[in-house]
């Protein structure tokens, strides 16, 4: 038996003669939420549970997603690969008759854990008995990689890997109905809702009453998400397993807003990343740039599971980790809206390349256009009530290149791409992006086939036809026609 356990300890270093010494791994990932937590500098609200997590672990101040929309982001972190490298870069793709298949050698993170003897699960919070949580992967995958919807189904002493997916910023909905629902819940929970007077908008958004109210409701969704985090930690503590559990808190991309979700600015790409658990020094702060896919590698590393050489994620907690000098991101088609953007960011500069510069910033998009905040921006633009900064998102053409000194201009307002003083920096950022696209085999360099586009749009339209109104259906059909028309015109 001693020889058997010794051999296992070589394969799984954390085993060392006792299976339950391997750490449990818990991912907590809310939707549509930027780093608006008090430990990240938000002053309008308090988020004690995430703050405590940071105080007991490590907080990353420069964590970025590689895709500013959920399905592409999730396809990336569950494989530890750039979505552009595995053909999963179009949002909600592969849903129709045309499918996307991963290369045979690529395994999903839960499968690695399962093969190593872990119990694997994915759930919402609060979880629904027997119902798996949000996956939203853009490729074909085997549901058996999850043993269940909750870690309570594991065998005695068996370590577990659990993904907890929460609605996050989606709690606020898209209009007055959604705002009131989350704010009423916050008022009931905390004694008061976040007042409009506490809201401090980024300078590129006008103080339209709907935009202010929406942001206040968003902050209440952050507060309610913080409560959910506290509930997860409380359960781990009650079951006596908190100290042997690596807890990773991260969101799937930034706030869903005009310049956030689906865009390459920090509002869409920068996310909170807090990690607490065995071997993590309390109250640590990391300001090097990291990518959201890195949670795949660091989780495997923490469990003593060998990180595959093909994986593009890095174990940012490893003792021999060499910090990244830059992080990369991509935005492609989102639902019916065709787009093609790439970005590279260092600690001090952001470079964005718009491959479709003849299109407006706010292209037709039924999902985003249904939000009252988008309608408010457009209404005030038509009424001439926006200043030059606020008109950034309503421009009808885009620059081919954008360069921002994010250390001096954190809201990415002043495009320096045409400034001769920054010619050297522009050239260097171009080089970085070109090198990354080539090295990683960016599949977005080739346009999505008409067959794949039509296949996905049929599923989208069929779903809308069943669940929504004829007007909504027609809006999407019209948007699809616009996308095809612009493509035929070379726009």
Structural domain that includes position 398 = 19-447
CA distance 491 to 274: 41
Residue 483 lies inside a defined structural domain of this protein? no
Coil, strand or helix at 310:
coil
User: What span, in angstroms and rounded, lies between the C-alpha atoms of 388 and 456?
Assistant: 38
Give yes or no for residue 261 having a pLDDT over 50: yes
The single-letter DSSP state of residue 324 is P
Question: Given this model, what pLDDT does residue 178 score?
Answer: 98
DSSP 86: T
The CATH code of the domain that includes 263 is 3.40.720.10
C-alpha 491: how far from chain center: 29
- In the prediction, which pLDDT does 200 show? 98
**Which whole number is the average pLDDT over 184-197?**
98
The kind and range of the H/E element at 402 are: strand 401-405
Q: Residue ranges of the alpha helices (H) in 94-208?
A: 109-115, 176-190
Residue 450, exposed/middle/buried by CB under 10 A (0-12, 13-18, 19+)? exposed
| Nearest one of 196, 106, 96 to 138, comparing CA atoms | 96
Q: Across residues 186-206, what is the average pLDDT?
A: 98
DSSP calls for 181-230: HHHHHHHHHHSSPPPGGG----TTS---HHHHHHHHHHHHHHHHHHHHHH
For residue 56, tell me if it sits in a domain. Answer: yes
Residue 140: is its pLDDT beyond 80? Answer: yes
Quick one: angle between helices 209-238 and 372-382, nearest 10? Answer: 160
Sheet of 327-331: strand order equals 327-331, 341-345, 349-354, 401-405
C-alpha to C-alpha distance for 189 and 46, rounded to whole angstroms: 13
3-state secondary structure of 431: helix
316, part of any domain: yes
**Which pLDDT tens digit goes with each residue over 357-377?**
999 999 999 999 999 999 999
> Is the N-terminal amide bond of 126 cis, ω within 30° of 0?
yes
Is 472 part of a structural domain of the chain? no
Tell me, what DSSP letter sits at residue 334? B
Per-residue pLDDT, 130: 84
pLDDT at residue 15, as a whole number = 40
**∠ at Cα 24 (23, 27), nearest 5°?**
130
Is residue 12 scored above 60 in pLDDT? no
Task: Quote the percentage of the chain above a pLDDT of 70.
Answer: 96
Instruction: Please say if the pLDDT value at position 2 is more than 50.
Output: no
Give the number of domains in the chain. 1
pLDDT, residue 128, reads 81
Residue 20 has a pLDDT of: 52
How do 58-64 and 270-276 pair as beta strands? antiparallel
Q: Measured over all CA atoms, what is the biggest interatomic distance in the chain, rounded to whole angstroms?
A: 79
Instruction: Kindly report, residue by residue over 51-83, the tens digit of the pLDDT.
Output: 999 999 999 999 999 999 999 999 999 999 999
Residue 7 has pLDDT above 60, yes or no: no
Share of the chain above pLDDT 90, in %: 95
Residue 148 in any domain: the answer is: yes
In a domain, 365, yes or no: yes
Q: Determine contact, residues 90/83, Cβ cutoff 8 Å.
A: no
On the CB side of 95, CA atoms within 13 Å amount to: 18
Rg of the chain (C-alpha set): 22
Q: Within a domain: residue 481?
A: no
Question: Is pLDDT of 3 > 60?
Answer: no
121 contacts 83 by C-beta, under 8 angstroms: no
| Statement: residue 205 has pLDDT above 70 | yes
Q: What is the mean pLDDT of residues 165-192?
A: 98
- Region 379-387 average pLDDT: 98
pTM value > 0.75? yes
Band (pLDDT 50/70/90 cuts) for residue 5 is very low
Question: pLDDT value at position 9?
Answer: 40
- Three-class SS of residue 51? helix
pLDDT tens digits, one per residue of 416-445: 999 999 999 999 999 999 999 999 999 999
Instruction: Give the C-alpha separation, 90 to 139, whole Å.
Output: 11
Q: What mean pLDDT, rounded, does the chain reach?
A: 95
**Which are the contacts of 409, defined by CB distance < 8 A and separation ≥ 6?**
none
Residue 396: inside a domain, yes or no?
Answer: yes
Confidence category of residue 93, pLDDT binned at 50, 70, 90: very high
Query: Would the pLDDT of 25 be above 70?
Result: yes
Task: Dig out the tokens for 194 from the structure.
Answer: 């976040």
Estimate the share of the chain in helix, then strand, then coil, as percent rounded to the nearest 5: 40, 15, 45
């Amino acid at each position: 038996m001693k020889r058997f356990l010794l051999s296992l300890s070589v394969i799984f270093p954390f085993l060392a003669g006792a299976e339950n010494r391997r750490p449990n791994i818990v991912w907590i990932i809310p939707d549509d939420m930027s780093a608006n937590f008090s430990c990240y500098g938000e002053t309008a609200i308090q988020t004690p549970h995430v703050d405590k997590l940071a105080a007991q672990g490590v907080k990353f101040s420069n964590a970025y997603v590689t895709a500013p929309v959920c399905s592409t982001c999730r396809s990336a972190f569950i494989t530890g690969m750039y979505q552009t490298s595995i053909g999963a870069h179009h949002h909600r793709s592969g849903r129709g008759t045309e499918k996307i298949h991963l290369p045979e050698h690529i395994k999903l993170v839960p499968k690695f854990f399962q093969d190593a003897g872990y119990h694997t699960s994915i759930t919402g919070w609060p979880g629904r008995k027997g119902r798996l949580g949000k996956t939203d992967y853009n490729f074909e995958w085997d549901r058996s990689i999850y043993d269940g919807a909750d870690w309570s189904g594991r065998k005695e002493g068996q370590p577990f890997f659990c993904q907890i997916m929460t609605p996050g910023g989606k709690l606020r909905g898209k209009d007055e109905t959604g705002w009131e629902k989350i704010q009423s819940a916050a008022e009931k929970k905390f004694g008061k809702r976040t007042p409009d007077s506490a809201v401090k908008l980024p300078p590129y958004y006008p103080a339209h009453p709907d935009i202010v109210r929406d942001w206040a409701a968003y902050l209440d969704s952050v507060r309610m998400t913080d409560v959910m985090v506290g509930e997860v930690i409380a359960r781990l503590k009650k079951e006596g397993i908190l100290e042997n559990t690596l807890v990773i808190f991260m969101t799937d991309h930034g706030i869903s807003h005009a310049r956030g979700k689906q865009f390459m600015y920090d509002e869409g790409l920068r996310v909170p990343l807090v990690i607490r658990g065995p071997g993590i020094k309390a109250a640590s702060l990391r300001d090097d740039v990291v990518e959201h896919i890195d949670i795949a590698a660091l989780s495997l590393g923490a469990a003593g599971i060998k990180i595959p050489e093909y994986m593009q994620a890095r174990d940012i907690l490893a003792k021999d980790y060499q910090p990244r000098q830059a992080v990369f991101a991509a935005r492609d088609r989102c639902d019916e809206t065709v787009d093609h953007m790439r970005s590279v960011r260092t600690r001090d500069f952001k470079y964005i390349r718009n491959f479709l510069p003849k299109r407006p910033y706010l292209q037709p998009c039924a999902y985003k256009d249904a939000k009252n905040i988008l309608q408010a921006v457009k209404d005030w633009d038509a009424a001439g009530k926006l200043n030059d900064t606020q008109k950034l998102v309503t421009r009808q053409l885009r620059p081919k290149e954008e360069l921002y000194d994010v250390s001096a201009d954190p809201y990415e307002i002043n495009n320096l791409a045409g400034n001769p003083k920054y010619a050297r920096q522009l050239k260097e950022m171009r080089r970085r992006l070109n090198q990354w696209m080539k090295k990683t085999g960016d599949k977005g360099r080739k346009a999505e086939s008409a067959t794949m586009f039509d296949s996905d749009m049929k599923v989208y339209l069929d779903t809308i036809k069943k669940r929504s109104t004829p007007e909504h259906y027609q809006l999407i059909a019209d948007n699809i026609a616009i996308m095809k028309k612009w493509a035929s015109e070379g726009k």
